Amino acid sequence: MLTIGALARATAIPVETLRTWERRYGYPVPERKPSGHRLYSVRSVSRLRRIARALAGGHRASEVVPASDADLRALLETAAAPPARRLQRLGSESLVPDLLAAVRSFEGETVTRRLLAEWARLGPLEFLGSCVAPVVHAVGDAWADGTLEVRHEHFLSERVGDLLRSLRLPFDERATGPLVVLSSLPGESHSLGLHMAALVLATNRCRVLLLGTEVPPPQLAELARDLRARAVGISVSTATQGPATARRLRGLRSLLPRRTVLLAGGEGAPGGVAGVTTLRELVQLEIWARQVGGTR
C-alpha cells in the first residue's frame, strides 16, 4: 500500500490531480485504515502510468480514467505510432549534431529553420522533449567540456527563447483558462525552462504571465494575490538545486494565498516540500494543465 504522495512520485502524476480524479471519476480507490489514513494499492501504479500515457497522447481524463483496463490497453495500442510515423522520426537523428555545428558557427537562421521544421511535424510536448531539450543539453555539455564557450550557450538560449515566445503567442491570444505566473527564485538565472513550461501551459488553454528570472518571493506572492492567480510556477535548474532552494520554496509557500498552487519544475526541483507540487517532467505539467485549463 502507498500513501498518495508515494503514489504521485511513482506515477509522475501530481497529488492534486489524483485527488481530483478520485473525486470526479472514482479512481484511484483508496483503502481507509483504522487510523483514518487513506492508502492506495501498489497495483494501481501501472494503470495510472497507462492513463498518463493516454493523456499525453491527447485523450481526455473523462475518457481514460474511468475506462476499463481492457479499453485502456486497446486505446493505447490504437494510438501507437504507425511504422511510417516511426520512420519519419528517424529523420531527426541528425538534429543535435547539425544544430551543434550551427551554434558553433552562430548560424541563427539555421537553428530557427531546423527547429521550426520539427515543430511543424510534432506535437508541442514531443517537440520540446525530443528536440529542444536534447539540443540545449548538448550545448551545455559542450560548454562544460570546453568544446563550446559561454557565448555559444547564450546565443542558443536567446535564439530558442525567441522561437518559443513566437510559437506561444497564438495560444496566448486564445487562452481562457486560469492564470499561472511563472518565474524563478533569486540566484536562478536560467530562463529556457520557463519558456518551455509557458508553451506547455498555453497550449492547454492556461493564461500565462511570464515574469522572467529571479523575482523576489514577496513580489511573486503580492502579484499572485492581486491577480488571483491559480498557480505560481518556479523553475529550478540543477545549478541551484539543494536545501537552500527547498527553504526558499517553503518561504514562498507561506507568503502565497492558500488558494494559489505552488508548482516547482525543472531538473533541480526538490521533492517532498510541504505545500509544493513538484513537476520535474513536462508531461507532468501537461497533465496538471489539462486538469485546470479545461482540456479534460
CA distance linking residue 238 with residue 248, whole number of Å: 15
| Architecture of the 81-174 domain | Orthogonal Bundle (1.10)
pLDDT band at 294 (very low <50, low <70, confident <90, very high): low
Q: Give the separation between CA 17 and CA 292, rounded to whole angstroms.
A: 9
Mean pLDDT on 70-86: 60
Range picked from 64-78, 83-97, 190-204 for highest mean pLDDT: 190-204
Average pLDDT estimate for 101-113: 93
Residue 69 confidence (pLDDT) above 90 = no
The pLDDT, as a whole number, for residue 86 is 36
* Bridge-based pairing state of the strands 231-235 and 179-183: parallel
Question: What pLDDT does residue 166 have?
Answer: 93
Q: Output the pLDDT for position 85.
A: 38
**258 backbone dihedrals φ, ψ, rounded to 5°:** -60, -30
What is the mean predicted confidence (pLDDT) over 118-124?
A: 84
Q: pLDDT band for 38, please (50, 70, 90 cuts).
A: confident
pLDDT tier for residue 83 given thresholds of 50, 70 and 90: very low
In this structure, the number of other CB atoms found within 10 A of the CB of residue 143 comes to 17
> Is pLDDT above 70 for 93?
no
pLDDT (average), residues 271-279: 89
pLDDT of residue 96: 86
pTM over 0.75: no
Q: For position 90, what pLDDT does the model report?
A: 37
Q: Is the pLDDT of residue 243 over 70?
A: yes
Residue 91 banded pLDDT, cuts 50, 70, 90: very low
**Residues 6 or more apart in contact with residue 103 via CB below 8 angstroms:** 111, 139, 148, 152, 155, 156
Give the amino acid at 47: R
Q: Assess whether pLDDT exceeds 60 at residue 84.
A: no
**Looking at residues 40-62, what average pLDDT do you find?**
79
pLDDT at position 141 is 83
The residues spanned by each domain of the chain are 4-79, 81-174, 175-296
Pick 101 or 295 by higher pLDDT. 101
Reduced to 3 states (helix: H, G, I; strand: E, B; else coil), residue 98 is helix
- Supply the mean pLDDT for the chain: 85
Among the four given CATH numbers 2.70.40.10, 3.40.50.970, 3.40.50.280, 3.90.470.20, the one describing domain 175-296: 3.40.50.280
DSSP 258-275: TTSEEEEESTTPPS--TT
Mean pLDDT, range 144-150, rounded to an integer: 84
Residue-wise burial string across 63-80, b where 16 or more C-beta atoms lie within 10 A, e elsewhere: ebbebeeeebeebbeeee
Most confident of 56-60, 141-145, 244-248: 244-248
Question: Sheet containing 261-265: which strands, arranged edge to edge?
Answer: 207-210, 179-183, 231-235, 261-265, 276-279
In percent, the amount of the chain with pLDDT more than 70 equals 91
Percentage with pLDDT > 90 across the chain: 40
Q: What is the 3-state secondary structure (H, E, C) of 168-199?
A: HHHHHHHCCCCEEEEECCCCCCCCHHHHHHHH
4-79 is classed in which CATH architecture?
Answer: Orthogonal Bundle (1.10)
Q: CB-based contacts of 66: which residues, under 8 Å, 6+ apart?
A: 25, 26, 27
| pLDDT on residue 296 | 45
Query: Helix, strand, or coil here: 209?
Result: strand
Name the residue with higher pLDDT: 8 or 91: 8
Specify the residue for cell string 501498489. Answer: 42
Which of 154 and 93 is assigned the larger pLDDT? 154
Look at residue 251 in the predicted model and tell me its pLDDT. 95
